[in-house]
Amino acid sequence: MGSVFLPHLKTGWHVDQAIMTEEERLVVIRFGRDWDEQCMRMDELLYRIADRVKNFAVIYVCDIDEVPDFNKMYELYDPCTVMFFFRNKHMMCDFGTGNNNKINWVLEDKQELIDIIETIYKGAKKGRGLVISPKDYSTKYRY
């Protein structure tokens, strides 16, 4: 359901604009397909926290079939991928999974997601490019 309420980025230009024009907040983009089961679960979670993180993060969704321009660049091969940008910089986060670039699994807990976004935002404000995730996901999820 959540994907209906989250703003969609229709083209590559929109993705770029979303990343570039945001000066103050973290830009969170979910790459995937709206009909995908994993994406639906993730979108639900994102929608439910969107209001609570609106002061420091903005959340978009992007269909990788409609906008295939970044598939190669960002290795968008998983069904659901969440990426973070701050002032036109790709923010990385060490989740312990071996892939620091994105979240490519589905989170279940709202607070966990808020914590991750907040941690990344704080690191970004300090000028870091890579932050350590508050929780280690190496054992729980395969990747």
17 binds another protein (CB under 8 A): yes
23 binds another protein (CB under 8 A): yes
Shortest approach of another protein to residue 58 CB, angstroms? 11
The mark string for 83-102 relative to another protein (x by CB under 8 A, - otherwise) is -----x-x-------xx-x-
Residues 41-70, interacting with another protein (CB under 8 A): 67, 69-70
Stretch that binds another protein, among 13-21, 32-40, 48-56, 121-129 (CB under 8 A): 13-21
Assess contact for 91 and 26: CB atoms under 8 A: yes
Q: Return d(Cα 120, Cα 110) in angstroms, integer.
A: 16
Provide the sign of the torsion angle of the four alpha carbons 102, 110, 57, 70, taken in this order.
Answer: positive
Taking the least distance from each CB to another protein, the nearer of 10 and 54 is 10
Q: Return d(Cα 133, Cα 102) in angstroms, integer.
A: 11
What distances in angstroms separate CA 103 from CA 8, 21, 92, 139, one per listed residue? 19, 23, 10, 15
Give me the residues that bind another protein (CB under 8 A), please: 7, 9-21, 23, 67, 69-70, 72-75, 77, 88, 90, 98-99, 101
